[in-house]
């Protein structure tokens, strides 16, 4: 520790004139330094998330063709955003939306554990004397930035500097403990790997941050206050402790979220217990690699996570069956209870928008059900069938209102340009789908009741043409939803290309209806109006589906679609 730093000279003031320890200085220095460390970690990782958020979703969705690629994507993305929980939230979203299944998601979750080891690797660098310089450079870059990109870069650098500065404060605060016999005895007891693992587990579970435990362990190692065995066992315990955090976060969440947390827990618990008898072997491995003790502990953290991941990748199918058995599917008791919108995610707008997308899918499924059920109810069904379709619109309206309010709250946050565009797309899609629900509930249901009241009978030839048109509208809506969920430009363009076909079909139906005016049938004129109104409303639904699909097409191409 560089004693020339007046700001960090707590080592001199922590010992009073009677060679006792000033516990106020030690405790405030330790926890104050920890607070600075965690604040710097938050600042750095938030900047990283903003910088890469527009690419994270697509990278994860497209890199799960095999388990090793999935694990690599989970490790790489978590290494950048430094949060396995964020990666897990994204993965849960993909499972829920059908983009990936649980067996594809498990390797990503396993790989995320490798990505988190970058924390120990970063903090193991001994650059404390330059910490405030790094903070100053980062602040200056952010303060004088003329672009969002430069501001993000400045915040990233400043966060990194705060991490090292917080570690310096913690190290200086704990320096007097070198000669404090009770503390020395406590550290000696940590030579028992099981005890050290339990301490790391409990502390991490209490502070809800494995980064906090990692930072303290690295500081203890840098100050020479713990043995390699104790440091490694503490980190093992932190791995298990962070699983407690995942389980708490999954409480009350859908089965997919709980299963992801269970995968995380099984991996860390079984992995830590498996390594516990071989801590001495691991110490020998990292000692042969070399480096100071802090670096050896960081290397051990990386080694056992990499080895554990490679082993678990061989048992993905078995792990999937286990977690599905532990957390079976359950019926949704209250359909309108929000499943995905979570206020705690508002501080990470990228993830909040992803969850809003999932809630939008619940609303979409109801709109698709309404569209699929309305035509048979409209042409032939009794009043009960029409009432059932109408009742679904109340749910659509309810979900629409809650999603719009949530998106509005996301919009109050500081958003990157990519997140702003995503917010606008979700707003428009939500409104488009709500408009489709209203068209069905207000217009088509009314037409169905009019048909019942007057006992209209649609001819077989007219029915076939209307049903064919309805099938195409339903297909357009399905493709639009797929394009929106997966950002699939090809699906979106497929809907746009349907415009000419739908126009031709609509014209053919109009010609057919005109020719039917001369038919010798009861209510022929009224039936003409009825059939024309049905098709006109289906045309409007198609247009809303097309608008929704266009949201997945780059702005510069929309004008021509």
Please give the full DSSP string across 191-233, using - where no structure is assigned. Answer: TSHHHHHHHHHHHHHHHT-HHHHHHHHHHHHHTT-S-HHHHHH
Model confidence at 538, pLDDT cuts 50, 70, 90, reads: very high
Report percent pLDDT > 70 for the chain: 81
558 pLDDT higher than 60? no
| Residue 332 included in any domain | no
Enter the DSSP assignment of 146.
S
8 pLDDT higher than 60? no
Q: Which two tokens stand for residue 264?
A: 């995380």
Highest-confidence range of 44-48, 172-176, 268-272, 488-492, by mean pLDDT?
268-272
Q: Tell me the average pLDDT of the chain.
A: 79
288-319, pLDDT tens digit by residue? 988 888 888 889 888 988 999 999 998 888 99
- pLDDT at residue 1, as a whole number: 41
| Residue 270 included in any domain | yes
What average pLDDT score do residues 105-121 get? 83
> Is the Cβ–Cβ distance between 559 and 436 less than 8 Å?
no
Looking at the structure of the chain, the number of domains it has is 2
More confident residue, 256 or 545: 545
Give the DSSP letter string of 45-100.
Answer: HHHHHHHHHHHHHHHHHHS-SSHHHHHHHHHHHHHHH--HHHHHHHHHHHHHHTSS
Shared-domain flag, residues 79 and 212:
yes
What average pLDDT score do residues 52-74 get? 65
Shared-domain flag, residues 373 and 286:
no
- pLDDT at residue 522, as a whole number: 65
372 pLDDT higher than 50? yes
Angle between helix 67-81 and helix 23-62 axes, rounded to 10 deg: 140
Domain's final residue, options 268, 291, 326: 326
Shared-domain flag, residues 314 and 352:
no
Shared-domain flag, residues 250 and 285:
yes
Shared-domain flag, residues 65 and 104:
yes
Other C-beta atoms lying within 10 Å of the C-beta of residue 267: 24
- pLDDT at residue 440, as a whole number: 92
Shared-domain flag, residues 424 and 296:
no
| Residue 13 included in any domain | no
| Residue 7 included in any domain | no
Compute the distance between CA of residue 308 and CA of residue 319 in angstroms, rounded to an integer. Answer: 13
Shared-domain flag, residues 291 and 378:
no
| Residue 5 included in any domain | no
238-290, pLDDT tens digit by residue? 888 877 766 766 666 667 767 877 888 888 889 888 888 888 888 899 889 88
Domain's final residue, options 326, 358, 373: 326
Domain that holds residue 468: 343-558
- pLDDT at residue 370, as a whole number: 92
Other C-beta atoms lying within 10 Å of the C-beta of residue 23: 10
Shared-domain flag, residues 143 and 198:
yes
Shared-domain flag, residues 494 and 391:
yes
Compute the distance between CA of residue 264 and CA of residue 247 in angstroms, rounded to an integer. Answer: 9
Rounded alpha-carbon distances, angstroms, from residue 159 to 40, 131, 136, 163, 167: 4, 10, 11, 6, 13
Shared-domain flag, residues 350 and 212:
no
Shared-domain flag, residues 179 and 290:
yes
> Is the Cβ–Cβ distance between 22 and 13 less than 8 Å?
yes
Compute the distance between CA of residue 457 and CA of residue 455 in angstroms, rounded to an integer. Answer: 7
Report percent pLDDT > 90 for the chain: 10
- Buried-state track 177-209, b at ≥16 Cβ within 10 A, e below 16: beeeeebeeebeebeebeebbbbbbebbbebeb
180-235, pLDDT tens digit by residue? 677 767 776 777 888 888 888 888 777 666 777 887 888 888 778 888 888 888 88
Model confidence at 521, pLDDT cuts 50, 70, 90, reads: low
| Residue 440 included in any domain | yes
Q: Which of 55-69, 252-266, 386-400, 483-497 shows the lowest per-residue confidence on average (mean pLDDT)?
A: 55-69
Highest-confidence range of 145-159, 513-527, 547-561, by mean pLDDT?
145-159
| Residue 334 included in any domain | no
> Is the Cβ–Cβ distance between 106 and 149 less than 8 Å?
no
> Is the Cβ–Cβ distance between 393 and 370 less than 8 Å?
yes
Compute the distance between CA of residue 482 and CA of residue 479 in angstroms, rounded to an integer. Answer: 5
345-357, pLDDT tens digit by residue? 787 788 888 888 8
Shared-domain flag, residues 260 and 133:
yes
Domain's final residue, options 297, 326, 355: 326
3-state secondary structure of 349: helix
Tokens 């405790």: give the residue. Answer: 27
Nearest to 551 by CA among 467, 427, 438: 427
Tokens 């699906």: give the residue. Answer: 491
């Amino acid at each position: 520790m560089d004693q020339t730093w007046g700001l960090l000279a707590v080592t001199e003031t922590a010992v009073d004139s009677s060679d006792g320890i000033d516990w106020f200085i030690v405790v405030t220095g330790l926890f104050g330094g920890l607070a600075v460390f965690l604040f710097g970690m938050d600042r750095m990782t938030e900047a990283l998330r903003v910088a890469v958020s527009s690419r994270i979703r697509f990278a994860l969705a497209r890199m799960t063709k095999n388990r090793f690629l999935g694990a690599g994507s989970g490790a790489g993305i978590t290494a950048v955003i430094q949060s396995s929980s964020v990666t897990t939230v994204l993965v849960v979203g993909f499972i829920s939306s059908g983009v990936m299944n649980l067996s594809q998601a498990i390797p990503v979750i396993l790989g995320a554990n490798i990505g988190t080891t970058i924390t120990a690797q970063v903090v193991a660098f001994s650059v404390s004397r330059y910490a405030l310089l790094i903070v100053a450079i980062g602040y200056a870059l952010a303060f004088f930035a003329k672009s969002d990109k430069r501001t993000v870069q400045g915040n990233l650098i400043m966060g990194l500097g705060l991490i090292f500065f917080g570690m310096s404060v913690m190290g200086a605060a704990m320096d007097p403990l070198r000669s404090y016999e009770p503390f020395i005895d406590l550290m000696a007891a940590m030579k028992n790997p099981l005890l050290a693992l339990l301490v790391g587990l409990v502390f991490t579970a209490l502070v809800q941050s494995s980064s906090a435990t990692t930072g303290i362990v690295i500081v203890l190692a840098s100050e020479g206050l713990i043995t390699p065995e104790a440091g490694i066992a503490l980190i093992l315990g932190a791995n298990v402790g962070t699983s407690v955090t995942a389980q708490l976060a999954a409480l009350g969440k859908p089965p997919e979220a709980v299963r992801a947390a269970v995968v995380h827990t099984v991996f860390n618990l079984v992995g830590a217990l498996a390594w516990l008898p071989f801590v001495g072997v691991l110490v020998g491995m990292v000692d042969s690699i070399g480096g100071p003790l802090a670096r050896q502990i960081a290397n051990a953290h990386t080694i056992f996570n990499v080895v554990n991941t490679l082993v678990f990748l061989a048992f993905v199918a078995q792990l999937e069956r286990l977690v599905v058995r532990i957390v079976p599917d359950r019926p949704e008791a209250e359909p309108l209870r929000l499943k995905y919108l979570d206020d705690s995610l508002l501080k990470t707008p990228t993830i909040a928008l992803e969850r809003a997308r999932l809630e939008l899918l619940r609303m979409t499924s109801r709109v698709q059900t309404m569209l699929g059920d309305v035509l048979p109810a409209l042409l032939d069904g009794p009043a009960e069938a029409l009432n059932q379709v109408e009742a679904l619109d109340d749910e659509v309206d309810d979900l629409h209102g809650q999603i719009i309010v949530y998106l509005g709250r996301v919009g109050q946050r500081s958003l990157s340009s990519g997140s702003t565009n995503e917010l606008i797309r979700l707003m428009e899609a939500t409104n488009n789908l709500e408009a489709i629900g209203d068209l069905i509930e207000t217009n088509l249901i009314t037409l169905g009741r009019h048909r019942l009241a007057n006992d209209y009978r649609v001819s077989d030839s007219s029915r076939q043409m209307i049903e064919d048109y309805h099938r195409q509208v339903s297909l357009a809506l399905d493709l639009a939803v797929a394009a929106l969920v997966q950002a699939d430009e090809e699906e979106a363009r497929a809907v746009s290309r349907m415009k000419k076909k739908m126009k031709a079909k609509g014209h053919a139906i109009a010609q057919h209806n005109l020719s039917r005016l001369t038919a010798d049938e009861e209510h022929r004129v009224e039936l003409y109006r009825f059939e024309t109104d049905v098709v006109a409303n289906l045309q409007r639904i198609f247009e809303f589906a097309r608008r929704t699909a266009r949201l997945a097409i780059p702005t510069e191409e929309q004008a021509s679609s």
